[in-house]
Amino acid sequence: MQSYAPLRRLVSGTALFVALAIGTVVPAGFVVQHVQTEYKVLRFKARSNAGKVARYIYMHPILWQYQGDRILDVVTLPPEDTVRQVITDRNNLEVLDDGALPAFPALRVQAPIIVDNVEVGSLTVATSLRPLALQAGLVLVLSWALACAAFATVRWLPFRVLDRTIGELARQRAWFEAALEHMTQALCMFDENHRVAVVNGPFAAMFGAPDTASLMGLSVTELVERLAKDVGMDRYTCARVLLLDATEVRDAALSAVVALADGRRIVISRTRMRAGSWVATFEDITDRWRAEEAEGDRTRALAESRVLRERARAAQETSRAKSLFLATMSHEIRTPMNAVLGLTASLLDGPLNEEQRRVLTTIHDSGESLLRILNDILDYSKLEAGRLELEDLAFSPAVVSETLQAVMGPRAAAKGLSFEIRTTGALPVALRGDPGRIRQILLNLVSNAVKFTDRGSVTVDAIGSAFGAGRAVMEWRVTDTGIGIAADTMDSLFGEFVQADGSINRRFGGSGLGLAICRRLAEQMGGTIAVESRFGHGSTFTFRVDLPVAAVAETAVPPDVSATASMETHIAHLGRRLRILVAEDNQTNQFVIRQMLKGLDIQVDTANDGMEAVNAIDRLDYDVVCMDVQMPEMDGLTATRAIRAKGGRQALVPIIALTGNAFQEDVKACLEAGMNAFISKPVGKNLLLQTIVTEMSRQGDAVRGRRNGLPRTPDATMARAESEDDPLRTDLSPVALTVISNHRG
């Protein structure tokens, strides 16, 4: 035993030492240890919650100070923790105060709240040490009570403390791992040796790794190769995307937005830590980026839409301005042209010597050439703007062909040309379409054939064929033996302002719009127009169109009827002098109409504006009123409405519009105002006389009170004035109108 005395003494000393340690050092160490442990726990809690608050502030950078209740949801601890938390901003103003006030003694730990490396506030965590003080007292009592068991105590107590510490560390590690796994961002940390030290599940999911364990401990190079394989990118791209290149670690912080091969957009932020380690976070912003891109596309689309609307508005304004300009120019040119053509026609009706007649004929033909150019421009403008409307009337193809003979035969004979119209097959008795525009096309083609043929013949072949289902095909071929067309100009022949060549323009003149208008009219009718030609051997123009078959054509006015004879016959049947009121502000035009009616038993009175015309109607019972549209004081449309509003005989008097305006909307405006017929200046004598006779035949008796009946409507009146088989129709082509006027006069 003595041998054990030293050991006993040693044990006793050790026991005494342990007992003393238990009684003094152990309790003190216990307190210190627990205080340190609690301090570590509080420090972890403070940093963890400060991090959570920092992330919340990052998402709500402006309103976070005013959302304490929301922050409480972020930093609330489990119920078993008795911790008081206080959050203040950078101005030391309290944002959140959560938990009971800890009893003395208490332990407090403060952690800064850092957002983007800037301290924006602090978080203080406090807890009471009173439970620890009670434990320390109990340990003190137990240590002295258990002094006799010093050896056991010496062996047991350290393990107990060690186990508790290890358990606490394990719990903290579990919290840390849970926090990593529940982050919305992917995270990867590297140690000073550039190896993966920490990686969370979102990182593995983001880059296609099977799990986090397989990434732990990998070097930068190995991680790049691993992710390049999983993501399907080359090593260089993967290293750049992940910002893992060791050469870049010298930067304290890096941030970038990188596009992955699969179209995703990733925000990468990397921060260097102590001892050469660093941490990188990755956030998938693909949805936000796509939303921003969609919003940008929508904004650009709206901007483009506004630009298109502005361009469309500007185009409409330009179109309106052009239409107004053309209407004004039409009126301004037609008004003096009315005097030139009207007076020369009147002089040509009188006795003249050969030289005088040749001079007047030249003046008249030059005026008609100018009028044809004006009408070509107006027609082309309407076709270009899509404002030319085709009519749907019943007409006879045979009558249309006969009109060509009546109109163009004398012109061809004057040049010594043979002119023939041949019919192949059985022509349809009647078709429905726009005969005026068909005549315009044919007269233009025949007129060109006559113009460009110096000797030989011009032949028109009218070919009809059944198409079935109530439709028929009409084809007209105009063949001449003229100068022909060069092969290199065939493709551009139907273009606007195109002549076969410069010499043709100098030799024959013309605006170059005729064939372009013919092509557009044919296309608008659903037909075709084509040409075959050999230079120096003549040409053949073919116009083809299919139209519905009509039951019967409207009655046409025979082209050889004398308008002057019709007027004389009508006046004779009337049994008295005819009274006509001419409302015209231009003195020259008044004189022109007087000259046209000169030699007939007609009383012509004039009014200088619409107001004078209305007053004149009240004073005298006129048979016909010729009304200009544009006049000072009161225009013709207003005057017509005022006359119709009077009722009685004024509501029935025929009113014929004589105007320099030649657009379809001008015709419509005159009809709506109550006029009965429309003649565009320059006014031809035959057309004027025939229109007067027609309107008086329709309404003369009603105007004079000899017949009780309702006044006819303007539409019914215009049905006659606009008859498609009437060769005097005012909307014929320039060639047709001019030639018909000469033929009839």
DSSP string, 723-744: -TT-TT-TTS-HHHHHHHHHHH
Token digits of residue 130: 């009173």
> What pLDDT score was predicted for residue 4?
44
DSSP element (H, E) containing 558: none
- Whether 248 shows a pLDDT value over 90: the answer reads no
Asked if 425 contacts 390 with a C-beta cutoff of 8 angstroms, the reply is no
Q: What structural domains does the chain harbor? A: 2-181 (no CATH), 186-284 (3.30.450.20), 390-548 (3.30.565.10), 563-744 (3.40.50.2300)
**Bridge-partner residues for 606, per DSSP?**
582
Q: Does pLDDT of 252 surpass 60?
A: no
CA distance 513 to 520: 11
Cα–Cα distance, 69 to 471 (Å, whole number):
84
- Cα 657 → chain centroid: 42
- More confident call, 451 vs 184: 451
Write down the pLDDT at residue 187: 85
Does residue 138 have a pLDDT over 90? no
Question: What is the predicted pLDDT for the residue at 278?
Answer: 77
Q: Give me the pLDDT at residue 506, please.
A: 42
- Residue identified by tokens 């050889």 is 560
Higher pLDDT, 379 or 486: 486
The yes-or-no verdict on residue 561 having pLDDT over 80 is: no
Over residues 3-14, mean pLDDT: 51
Which string of b and e fits 260-292 if b means at least 16 CB within 10 Å?
Answer: beeeebbbbbbbbeeeebbebbbbbeeeebeee
| Cα 723 from Cα 745, distance rounded (Å) | 20
The C-alpha atoms of residue 684 and residue 737 are separated, in whole angstroms, by 9
Q: In this predicted model, which residue has the larger pLDDT, 711 or 458?
A: 458
Question: What's 650's DSSP letter?
Answer: G
pLDDT range class, residue 491, cuts 50, 70, 90: low
Going from the C-alpha of 223 to that of each of 177, 185, 187, 216, 280, the distances in angstroms are: 21, 19, 14, 9, 13
DSSP H or E run through 357: helix 354-384
Distance of CA 603 to CAs 270, 356, 613, 675, 682, Å? 106, 30, 15, 21, 22
Mean pLDDT estimate for the chain:
75
% of the chain residues with pLDDT over 70: 71
Alpha carbon separation from 485 to 442, 444, 458, 540 (Å, rounded) = 19, 17, 16, 10
Q: Phi and psi of 272, rounded to 5°?
A: -85, 135
Predicted confidence at residue 331, as pLDDT, reads: 63
Instruction: Say if residues 597 and 563 touch (Cβ distance below 8 Å).
Output: no
Q: How many CB atoms lie within 10 A of CB 664?
A: 12
Provide mean pLDDT across the span 211-225: 80
Q: Under 8 Å CB-to-CB from 509, ≥6 apart: which residues?
A: 369
What mean pLDDT is predicted for residues 664-672?
A: 85
Tokens of 455: 């000797």
d(CA 342, CA 368): 11
Q: Are 441 and 510 in contact (CB under 8 A)?
A: no
> What per-residue confidence (pLDDT) applies to 604?
93
Distance CA 670, CA 440 (A): 24
Mean pLDDT of 695-707: 60
Write the CA distances from 573 to 543, 577, 648, 652, integer angstroms. Answer: 45, 11, 24, 20
Indicate the SS3 state at residue 400. helix
| pLDDT of 731 over the 50 cut | no
- Residue 619 token pair: 């004073």
Distance CA 4, CA 9 (A): 8
Q: How far apart are CA 11 and CA 7, in angstroms?
A: 6
562 token code pair: 């004398």
Provide the pLDDT for residue 390: 80
> Minimum mean pLDDT among 94-103, 474-483, 620-629: which range?
94-103
Least confident of 105-109, 250-254, 647-651: 250-254
Which residues, at least 6 apart from 304, have a Cβ–Cβ distance to it below 8 Å?
none
Q: Using CA atoms, how far apart are residues 46 and 248, in angstroms rounded to an integer?
A: 32
pLDDT at residue 730 is higher than 60: no
Identify which of 154-158, 635-639, 656-660 has the greatest average pLDDT: 635-639
pLDDT at 132 over 60: yes
Beta-carbon contacts of residue 468 (< 8 Å; ≥ 6 apart)? none
**Averaged pLDDT, 506-515:** 57
Mean pLDDT calculated for residue range 209-235: 75
302: Cβ contacts below 8 Å, ≥ 6 apart: none
Peptide bond connecting 682 to the previous residue in cis, omega within 30 degrees of 0: yes
Per-residue DSSP letter, 60: S
Q: With H, G, I as helix, E, B as strand and everything else as coil, classify residue 316.
A: helix
Does residue 524 have a pLDDT over 80?
yes
Percent of the chain having pLDDT more than 90? 11
Which of 35-49, 263-277, 368-382, 534-548 is least confident? 368-382
| Structure confidence at residue 305 (pLDDT) | 85
C-alpha angle with apex 554: 551 to 559, nearest 5 degrees?
Answer: 140
Q: Is residue 563 over pLDDT 70? A: yes
Residue of higher predicted confidence among 674 and 134 = 674
Q: What separation in angstroms does the CA of 210 have from each of 98, 205, 281, 283?
A: 41, 8, 19, 19
d(CA 653, CA 696): 9
Q: Is 513 helix (H, G, I), strand (E, B) or coil?
A: coil
- How far CA 424 is from CA of 429, 474, 541, in Å, comes to 14, 11, 16
Higher pLDDT, 397 or 264: 397
Q: Are 514 and 444 spatial neighbours (Cβ–Cβ below 8 Å)?
A: yes
Q: pLDDT tens for residues 58-69?
A: 887 776 666 666
Give one DSSP letter per residue of 665-726, joined into a string: HHHHHHHHHT-SEEEESSPPHHHHHHHHHHHHHHHHHHHTTSS--PPPPHHHHHHHHT-TT-
Predicted TM-score (pTM) of this structure: 0.43
pLDDT band at 83 (very low <50, low <70, confident <90, very high): confident
- Residue 384's pLDDT band, with cuts at 50, 70 and 90, is low
Res. 8: pLDDT tops 80: no
**Choice among 42-46, 173-177, 345-349, 718-722 with the minimum mean pLDDT:** 718-722
| DSSP letters for 571-587 | HHHHTS-EEEEEE-S-H
pLDDT value for 239? 64
pLDDT attached to residue 236: 63
- On the question of pLDDT at 35 being above 60, the answer is yes
- Of the ranges 195-199, 315-319, 330-334, 502-506, which one carries the lowest mean pLDDT score? 502-506
Q: Which residue in 565, 592, 590 sits closest to 347, CA to CA?
A: 592
Residue 320's pLDDT is: 66
Angstrom distance (rounded) from CA 151 to CA 512: 127
pLDDT score of 363 more than 60: yes
pLDDT value, residue 162: 52
Cα distances from 487 to residues 74, 90, 447, 533, in angstroms, run 87, 90, 22, 8
**Can you give the pLDDT at residue 540?**
92
In the DSSP assignment, the letter for residue 630 is: S
**pLDDT(633) > 70:** yes
> Which position has the higher pLDDT, 652 or 734?
652
**pLDDT mean over 437-465:** 89
Greater confidence (662 vs 101) lies with 101
- pLDDT above 60 (res 180): yes
Cis link prior to 105 (omega < 30° from 0)?
Answer: yes
Q: 145-154, 355-364, 546-555: which range is least confident on average?
A: 145-154
Is the model's pLDDT at 499 over the cut of 60? no
pLDDT at 85: 83
150, 519, 620 from 6: Cα distances, Å: 17, 134, 162
Average pLDDT over residues 262-281: 77
Residue 377: name the closest of 329, 429, 449 by CA. 329
For residue 612, which phi and psi values (nearest 5 degrees)?
Answer: -65, -35
Comparing 498 with 605, the larger pLDDT belongs to: 605
pLDDT in tens, 598-630: 888 999 999 999 999 999 998 888 999 999 998
pLDDT score, position 716: 33
- Span 670-681, average pLDDT: 89
Higher pLDDT residue, 102 or 495?
A: 102
Confidence of residue 161 (pLDDT cuts 50, 70, 90): low
Which position has the higher pLDDT, 196 or 380? 196
More confident residue, 262 or 311: 311
Burial label for 370, CB within 10 Å (0-12, 13-18, 19+), is middle
User: How does residue 582 score in pLDDT terms, banded at 50, 70 and 90?
Assistant: very high
The DSSP call for residue 633 is S
Tell me, what's the pLDDT at 107? 87
How far apart CA 97 and CA 583 sit, in angstroms, is 97
**pLDDT of the residue at 696:** 86
Please report how the helices 734-744 and 397-414 are oriented relative to each other, as an axis angle in degrees rounded to 10.
Answer: 70
Mean pLDDT of 161-184: 77
Beta bridge partner(s), residue 255: 269
**Alpha helices (H) in 182-271, listed in sequence order:** 201-206, 220-231, 235-242
pLDDT score of 303 more than 90: no
